[in-house]
Structures are given as C-alpha cells and as structure tokens.
Amino acid sequence: MTATDSSPRRLSAEVRTTAVLAAPLVAGHVSTGLISFVDSVIAGRHGTQTLAAVAVGTALFWLPVIVPMGTLMALPPSVSQLDGAGRRGEIGALFRQSLWLALALGLVLFGFLTAVVYALAPMGIAPEIIPGATAFLHGIRWGVPALTLFLCMRYLAEGMHWTLPTMALSAAGLFVLLPLGYVLTFGEYGLPELGAGGLGIASAAMLWLQAISFAVVLKRARRFDDLNLFERFDPPQWPAMRGLLGTGLPIGVTVLMEGSLFIVTALLIGRLGDVPAAAHQIAINVASLSFMVPMGLAEATTVRVGHSLGRGDVAGVRRAAWAGLVIVIGTQVLSGTALLLGNEFVVGFYTQDAAVAALAATLLLYAAAFQFPDGIQVLSAGALRGLRDTRVPMVLAGLAYWGIGMPLGAGLGLGLGWGPTGMWLGLIAGLSVAAVLLGSRFLRASAPARLAAQGNAPSSAER
C-alpha cells in the first residue's frame, strides 16, 4: 500500500464505514467467544477434570468445524461483489446453493464427531480426561448441522452489509447456554449430573435455536424482499457449488491450518496431564476472546474490499484494507496491554486451583506477545478473501503455521521439555511469519496495475 492510494479524508470516511460495519460483527464474535468462556467457567467450577475434558472436547469439535466455516466464507465476498456490480438478482440462487453445501458439510461433520472419540486413547490423551471429552463431543455433535446452516445465513447477511443479526443472535445464545449448561452439568432440579456431557447437549440446543431464529429473521427482512431467498426450491446444482468450493475450500484449508495449530497444541498439551490441559484451556480461551475483535474487523474488510472490487473502484480496494489496518492496530494495543497487566485477575474467574492459575497466568503473557502479529495476519487474510485470492494464501499459511510454528513449538515444548510455554512460543513464531507473508501477498495482489489488468471481474482475483 502507498499513501497515494487514498486522501486522508477518504481514508477517514472508510475507517468510519468499516468500524460501523465491523462493530456488530465484533460483538457477535465476542458473544460466540463468551460461549466458550461460559463452558470453561462452568466446567472449571465443576472440577479440574471436567475443565480438561471440555478443553480436549472443544479442540476436537472446532478442528473439523473450521473447514466448513472457512469454506462458507466464500459467500460474503461473492455476495458483496454481486451487490457492488448491481447484480442483486443472482444472489438468491447463490444463497440457496450455499444452503445445500452447508447441510452436506454439517452431516459429514456429524459423522466425524461420532467416530473421533475412538481416537482419543491412541492420541495419548490422559485416561482421566477421555470419558468427559467423549460425553461432550457426543452431546455437541447434534448441533453441527445447525451451526453450518447458521453460518451460511450469517455470511449472506454480512455480504449485504447487514451485521446486526449476527450480533443479536450470538448474544442471545448466551442466555440459553448459561442456565441450561449449568443445570445439565451440575444436575439441578432433579436432572442427572452430566458434567462435560451436559455442556455439549446445552451447546447443541443453543445452536439449533440460533439457526431457526436466523431463518425467521431473513424471511421477514424487508431489505431482502427483492432477493427471493426462500421463494422457491432449487435442487443442488454442481456448477454453482463448484464455484463456491473453488473459492471456499482454499479458505477452509487456510483457516484449518491456523486453527489446527492451536487445536493440535491443545491436544499435545493434553498429553501432559489435567493441570497443563486446564491451564492451556483458560489461556487459549482468553486469547480467543481477544481474537474475536480483529476477526470481526477482517470480515468487515472482506466485504468492503469485495464491494470496491465489484464496482470497479481499484483505489478503494486498498483504502478498505488500510482502514481495517488502522483500526486493528488500535484494538491490538488495547488487548495486548490488558493481557499483560490483567493476567492474574482474569485467571481468577476460571479456577481456584493454585497450580492451574499460576501456569495459566504465565501463558497469558505469551498471548499478549502475539496480539500484533495475530491481528495483522487475520486482517491480511480477510483483505485477500475480498479479492477472492485464496489459493496462494493457503500455501503461505501452511508454511507459516506448519512449516515453522508447529515444529518449533513441538520441539521446544515436548522435545526440550519446556512444556506449555514452549508450545506457545511456537504459536508466536507461526503467527508472526503468517503476518509478514500474507501482508506482502496483499500488497502484490492489490497493485492497481494488476487489478486493472484483470478487469476487476468478480472471479478474476482468484488467478
């Protein structure tokens, strides 16, 4: 990016537009992150083994879910580019095909979560953790199809610059999960005490309520009347789904490689026993909450970049990315400072176990260190998605996370015996390299001469 891409006034206006678009997304992501917070707090109050079981179960749940989440991320830039190009009439048909794709992905993941529990012992998970993790996964698997359908509807709305439903429904989920999760975990009101399994069942119920509610919102939203989203039944059409998969699968693999870096880290730490596993779960849950802010900004940047590309505004593409970067730098300063100064205070919400609390507080210092690279890499990835440039970023992400981050973390944490702190140093290294590689890729992909040569067609940036 260069300073000549945007005047200060136009950049300031873009910052405001991006902030307004991103605010509900950030709030929605924070609410989603608070779901894991609620799970962790309830589990921690129930016992250290329950918290460790939820840590492992959550890791194995999000490992497969990341793939459809990333794959369906093809929808916002596709929708925003169609909207920006004045082709709203094509959005409804694209949405209906994305519903078929979401349903198929949800059913595949249900089968995966059913079978994966048999791999816990071969993975080397501590024996005392396996029963609770199994119960959690068997409960939450029933909500996976609802989650993929919810994501499909959410990404449609976000691609059309309507982000309030994401915020509202994500926040409403907390009001379902908190009481229901507590009652089922502890066995209140005469119900059996289900422990980690109760949290899994409560999470599944919440996901279905969110999906049904979002469908009702879209059906009744006047702003989408001209799209005819639910007016007719379309059978699956391979050309349309192939287009979504062509853009979305590389995104899914990219997000998987980043997310699995954290997930596999949790599983490796789970081999060290319940105290390290519980401490890591606390630290990664707090770090994940802070990550919700740049993630929401990245999604808003995807939409703004895609909209600019669709209407042929070459300068606006980089202006949208600059706006996101300005905001994300400010948010990461705040989150890094909060983690650095408030680590012990935050840990106190999760556990009264002194050993778990001490290790978790230390890990939060490492989390503070990766706030800047984490924010920059996710924003760069979001801007590239707006260009529908997804294949090269997939390779770059694989190099950063699995060529550098994981080998370094495993070598330090397990090979040299540094434990969780060594694994977290690997996380910092992987995210830092990803920030450099993805940021550099966007600079090349968004060069005005390159965009002009491609003609700004909605699919051209994939090349």
Q: Identify the three-state secondary structure at position 119.
A: helix
Please state, as a whole number, how many other Cβ atoms lie within 10 Å of the Cβ of residue 23: 16
CA distance 320 to 308: 8
CA distance 368 to 362: 10
CA distance 254 to 397: 6
CA distance 402 to 258: 9
Domain coverage including residue 451:
3-462
Global pTM value: 0.72
By the 8 A CB rule, do 284 and 262 touch? yes
* Triad 289, 425, 32: Cα angle to 5°: 15
What is the per-residue pLDDT across 343-387, written as a single tens digit (0 to 9) for each?
Answer: 888 888 777 788 888 888 888 998 888 888 999 999 999 899 888
Domain count, the chain: 1
Side chain identity, residue 377: Q
What's residue 2's pLDDT? 44
CA distance 25 to 168: 10
CA distance 282 to 330: 25
pLDDT in tens, the chain (463 residues): 444 444 777 888 888 888 888 888 788 777 776 777 788 788 878 887 888 888 888 878 877 787 888 788 888 878 887 877 777 777 888 888 889 999 999 999 999 999 888 888 887 787 888 888 899 999 999 999 999 999 999 889 888 878 788 888 888 888 888 899 889 988 888 788 888 889 999 999 999 999 999 999 998 888 888 787 887 788 888 887 787 887 778 888 887 787 778 778 877 887 777 788 888 878 887 887 788 889 889 988 988 888 888 777 888 888 888 898 999 999 999 999 988 888 888 888 777 788 888 888 888 998 888 888 999 999 999 899 888 888 899 899 989 999 999 999 889 988 888 888 888 899 899 999 999 999 999 988 887 767 666 654 444 333 3
What is the per-residue pLDDT across 293-321, written as a single tens digit (0 to 9) for each?
Answer: 898 899 889 888 888 887 778 888 888 88
Is 118 exposed, middle or buried, given 0-12, 13-18 or 19+ CB atoms closer than 10 A?
Answer: exposed
What's residue 144's pLDDT? 92
Question: Which tokens belong to 364?
Answer: 């939060």
What's residue 327's pLDDT? 93
By the 8 A CB rule, do 420 and 413 touch? yes
Express the helix, strand and coil content of the chain in percent, nearest 5 each. Answer: 85, 0, 15
Cα 30 from chain centroid? 11
